[in-house]
Structure 1
Amino acid sequence: MIDTRAFGNAMKERGFDFYTGVPCSFLKDLINYAINECDYVGAVNEGDAVAIAGGAQLGGRKSVVLMQNSGLTNAVSPLTSLNYCFKLPVLGFVSLRGEPGLSDEPQHELMGQITTQLLELMQVEWAFLSDDIEQAEIQLEQADQVIASDRPFFFVVKKGTFNKEALRSSEVPLRPNRVEVERNENNEQSRLTRYEALGILNANKDSRTVHLATTGFTGRELYEVEDSEQNLYMVGSMGCISPLGLGVSLSCPEKKVVAIDGDGALLMRMGNLATTGQYGPTNLLHILLDNHVHDSTGGQGTVSAGVDFATVAAACGYERVQCVFDAAQFKKALKQWHSDPKLTFVYLPILKGAKEDLSRPKVKPREVKERLMVFING
């Protein structure tokens, strides 16, 4: 077995001090170490964890993501369309439940057979983590070199690899979730287009603001409003803008982080509202632009018309929740957050449709990442 504390300290010496993930019995001792000694965010699913780690990486933190191999499938979307496209590295640990030749539960049988194949299909470099501490530290050095080249690296962890690390406290501090939703007057005649809303948002930023735009028309329209080093235009990884924003905000408390979401995207990873409500700092503003459709794929309807997002956000622990419906209300909400920052959720229904002749960003995702990191960490 590896001495978990010695291995964790070796990781910390190399700068890996931000962890996120979903528990697995094979990884419990490394998770306990992370909770005891480092910054740890307990994600509600593995895909969210990858995006949270990616956000922390944008903020200059060397990040670690932990998961059971059954959850590796949940992480496929961000690993292939967020980490791969943006060249955003992360150090991963995935357990090998269902290892061929060993007895395990039936739900792990297939994943045990295909875990390493799945990593290879995603072009993720990997290695079985040695149970010898000296060899494991050599492997860690090799993994760090891969991370330095902007590629993810995963350790596949077999049963019994880590020795016992006691958890000092298992309680997650509770945050209040009884905030009253601020609902402004709803005048449907004054409803904004997405492009108009993004123009207002852009006009109200300052020199510390980071704008993270969800995939589809939102990122493309923000690019047309103004292409800026302060922006990130998500491609793929639908639903991941919220956990990405959480990771950036936690790693960069001096910046003002705005996650610009869509109704279809938020519905896809709605569980991250709870994670954000629990861990989210005051420098995070989560804006939902809701037009009840998947605009960029032909206008198919979402189920958002039947969802009270604002009440859900309030119930998940956001400190300020506002429903705004026109330009004046939206501007007021933005100015309030800038002057009195709190973990804030702003719900803004918008009109269907997009700007005519909408272009795509000419700057490549990796270039978007690199210039944003310079802005964040400069």
Structure 2
Amino acid sequence: MNTRSFGNEMKRLGFDFYTGVPCSFLKNLINYAINECEYVGAANEGDAVAIASGAYLGGKKPVVLMQNSGLSNAVSPLVSLNYPFRIPVLGFVSWRGQPGYPDEPQHELMGQITTKILDSMQVKWMYLSTDMRTAKRQLLLAMRYIEKDNPFFFVVRKGTFEQEPLQKQLRPFNYPRISHASKAENEFPARQEALRIINGWKDGKTIQLATTGLTGRQLYEIEDASNNLYMVGSMGCVSSLGLGLALSKPDFDIVVIDGDGSLLMRMGNLATIGYYHPPNMIHILLDNNAHDSTGGQQTVSHNVSFVDMASACGYANSLYLRSLDDLDACLQKWKNKKGLTFAHLQISTRNEDPPRRPAVKPHEVKERLASFLNRGHLEAEGAES
């Protein structure tokens, strides 16, 4: 099938935001996406699904591209982010290890179970045809599922796409990086205290994304608002979700509130964020060296220099914060000047009364957030009519 013709049909239907991890079976479609659309190269397939989900919240129709060996990496966000929040994505997964066709040994088992994994996740799927007319009809069918908030995946056989040469890619700009460390001693404030400071800077152009566990629950108790999102699963994916949202909604301030256990799980996304460098995003790490939501088991964060890592990955500003005053000053500066920022605050493990889980359902959180993000667009349309 002619790759450019298929890609142009995708673009006509509104699919112009792509993210994923390369596969030789999909390389020509990936090349088209890089040449003609917005493409975000993810560190892994799970991050790609979360990036696409953030872009969807921002009004995009996202496409995720991956090899089937990485489908297992994408299981966590597909079942615990996309399913409960009812976030649809259009996926293309290669069929390496297709039974009856010779392939490398590492693809043998995955080739046998690729479609079974999709079935188990209740993800609708179809083998992508190599005939353009049939493929167009398949895309319309996929659209119907996506419009009902269901993900849809195409399984792609070898040789489906004709050659699409990769155009010369621009060399990325090397952003200046600044790291700051206060000489003051750590105050180790409680998480609730830090969240109250963060929430105090929220305004009508701010979106707050809180990682799964106690962070989201405590933010909910401080103030439940339509511009908050409380992760309930997909641990480690909150920064990827924030990246997709920041890139698709540059006029909003995206505040990502992360935890050490969460960030450790998917540290590769620091490099992706640093590379694509959204200036409207601040990534705040509340680090208590523990998996607090599951009983306080220690993480290995005490041995990790997160600020140095963020700086090395391309964040414009990477800061060690020692106190609530430092946090307040950091947010004030970022609100005024912007720039991709990473802020690390060491917190205590002491908690107030155990927080309750949000009473609002995840898909309701998504729907009201989408309404909040698009209210300006709707108001403009109303004024024109």
Instruction: Specify the TM-score bucket, using the shorter chain as the normaliser.
Output: over 0.9
Rounded to whole Å, the distance in 1 between the matches of 2:117 and 2:75 is 9
Determine if contact 1:88/1:150 at 8 Å carries over to the other structure.
yes
Greater mean alpha carbon deviation, residues 285-294 or residues 320-329: 320-329
Corresponding residue to 1:182 among 159, 177, 180: 180
Q: Does 1:369 align with 2:381?
A: no
Amino acid in the other structure paired with 2:22: P
Corresponding residue to 2:275 among 264, 271, 278: 278
Rounded to whole Å, the distance in 2 between the matches of 1:121 and 1:5 is 33
Corresponding residue to 2:331 among 321, 330, 334: 334
Amino acid in the other structure paired with 1:185: K
Amino acid in the other structure paired with 1:282: P
Which consecutive unaligned segments of at least 5 residues does structure 2 have? 376-385
Determine if contact 1:295/1:353 at 8 Å carries over to the other structure.
no
Q: Secondary structure at the match of 2:343?
A: strand
Q: Deviations over 1:19-44 (max 9, x none)?
A: 00000000000000000000000001
Shift of 1:298: 0.4
Q: Deviations over 1:14-66 (max 9, x none)?
A: 11000000000000000000000000000010000000000000000000000
1:215-234 alignment, distance < 5 Å: 215-234=212-231
Determine if contact 2:258/2:283 at 8 Å carries over to the other structure.
yes
Q: Report the TM-score when normalising by structure 2.
A: 0.96
1:49-64 alignment, distance < 5 Å: 49-64=48-63
Partner of 1:86: 85
Partner of 1:239: 236
Q: Secondary structure at the match of 2:207?
A: strand
Amino acid in the other structure paired with 1:44: A
Rounded to whole Å, the distance in 2 between the matches of 1:273 and 1:114 is 31
Rounded to whole Å, the distance in 1 between the matches of 2:169 and 2:48 is 19
Determine if contact 1:310/1:347 at 8 Å carries over to the other structure.
yes
Shift of 1:281: 1.1
Amino acid in the other structure paired with 1:240: C
Rounded to whole Å, the distance in 2 between the matches of 1:169 and 1:288 is 36
1:198–1:20: structure 2 CA closer, same or farther, 3 Å change rule? Answer: same
Shift of 1:312: 0.2
1:107–1:170: structure 2 CA closer, same or farther, 3 Å change rule? Answer: farther
Shift of 1:179: 2.0
Rounded to whole Å, the distance in 1 between the matches of 2:79 and 2:25 is 25
Partner of 1:116: 115
Corresponding residue to 1:289 among 277, 286, 290: 286
Rounded to whole Å, the distance in 2 between the matches of 1:148 and 1:10 is 17
Determine if contact 1:221/1:355 at 8 Å carries over to the other structure.
no
Corresponding residue to 1:192 among 189, 193, 200: 189
Determine if contact 1:257/1:283 at 8 Å carries over to the other structure.
yes
Amino acid in the other structure paired with 1:15: G
1:1-378 alignment, distance < 5 Å: 2-170=1-169, 172-176=171-175, 179-188=177-186, 190-378=187-375
Deviating 4+ runs (over 2 angstroms): 185-188
Rounded to whole Å, the distance in 1 between the matches of 2:331 and 2:258 is 15
Q: Report the TM-score when normalising by structure 1.
A: 0.98
Rounded to whole Å, the distance in 1 between the matches of 2:118 and 2:168 is 33
Shift of 1:327: 1.3
Rounded to whole Å, the distance in 1 between the matches of 2:204 and 2:22 is 38
Rounded to whole Å, the distance in 1 between the matches of 2:47 and 2:104 is 25
Q: Secondary structure at the match of 1:254?
A: coil
Amino acid in the other structure paired with 1:280: H
Amino acid in the other structure paired with 1:356: D
Q: Secondary structure at the match of 1:65?
A: strand
Amino acid in the other structure paired with 1:85: P
Rounded to whole Å, the distance in 2 between the matches of 1:130 and 1:287 is 45
Shift of 1:186: 3.3
Amino acid in the other structure paired with 1:138: R
Rounded to whole Å, the distance in 1 between the matches of 2:46 and 2:184 is 35
Rounded to whole Å, the distance in 2 between the matches of 1:354 and 1:57 is 34
Q: Deviations over 1:123-150 (max 9, x none)?
A: 0000000000000000000001100000
Determine if contact 2:65/2:92 at 8 Å carries over to the other structure.
yes
Rounded to whole Å, the distance in 1 between the matches of 2:301 and 2:127 is 43
Q: Secondary structure at the match of 1:182?
A: strand
Rounded to whole Å, the distance in 2 between the matches of 1:107 and 1:41 is 26
Amino acid in the other structure paired with 1:55: G
Q: Secondary structure at the match of 1:162?
A: coil
Amino acid in the other structure paired with 1:273: L
Shift of 1:171: 5.2
Rounded to whole Å, the distance in 1 between the matches of 2:174 and 2:93 is 30
1:23–1:213: structure 2 CA closer, same or farther, 3 Å change rule? Answer: same
Amino acid in the other structure paired with 1:202: N
Determine if contact 1:211/1:260 at 8 Å carries over to the other structure.
yes
Determine if contact 1:19/1:41 at 8 Å carries over to the other structure.
yes
Which consecutive unaligned segments of at least 5 residues does structure 1 have? none
Greater mean alpha carbon deviation, residues 354-363 or residues 301-310: 354-363
Q: Percent identity?
A: 59
Shift of 1:343: 0.3
